[in-house]
Amino acid sequence: MRRITPYALLLPLVLTAAACASPDQEVALEDSVETSATSEETTGSDPTEEADEGAGGAPGTSDQVGPPDAGDTLDFGEPAAFPYPVGAYEEEFQDGVEEDVVYTVDDVAGDGAGNADFTLSVEVPELGRVFGLGNMSVECFFDEAGTPATSDDPVVEAEAGTHTMDMRCEAPQSAQNLTVVMTNAEDEATWTGPLE
């Protein structure tokens, strides 16, 4: 017994449909095929153009992960100063009178056991109020990998004076350089240097 494929069953239907179609419909069918091919060609060229535009796009729009550029960093031991108005409350701020809160990262060393230790100092001037550090975050970067820094004795509210926090973060055994990024509200500073 001879086996009939499904395509053989469809052939009479296709031939009947083609015989019943008018010439206008055939032209319309051909036009839609040409239009489809044209739109595919156009669509095919768009990704190349977009890729070219993306390659020379504005800086900061890439998916780069890691610490800020080296031009935005301080050396360990260098101070980062941020001005704050003097006065206990906003309505009591003295016009044009500001004092600097100064952050410094120093005493950086690797402990040989997979950690990096450093000291973060915050020098708070007489502002007439306590200075908040409860939402401050500190992160360490080794090449592109970031890890949070922790302290056993963090300072949450700082009176006038210098406050130091011994901090630690996990470090790869092969790490030779460390970048520390500190963020406290609008204040953000970055230090970088060798991990000794």
Residue 179 has pLDDT above 50, yes or no: yes
149 confidence band (pLDDT: 50, 70, 90)? very high
DSSP secondary structure code for residue 87 in this structure: S
Domains of the chain, residue spans: 6-53, 71-194
Q: Give pTM, 2 decimals.
A: 0.64
Query: Residue 52 to residues 38, 49, 124: CA-CA distances in angstroms?
Result: 22, 5, 49
In angstroms, the CA 192 to CA 13 distance is: 76
**Pairing state of beta strands 80-85 and 145-148?**
unpaired
Q: pLDDT (tens digit, 9 = 90+) per residue, 134-148?
A: 999 999 998 777 899
The answer regarding whether domain 71-194 maps to CATH 2.40.50 reads no
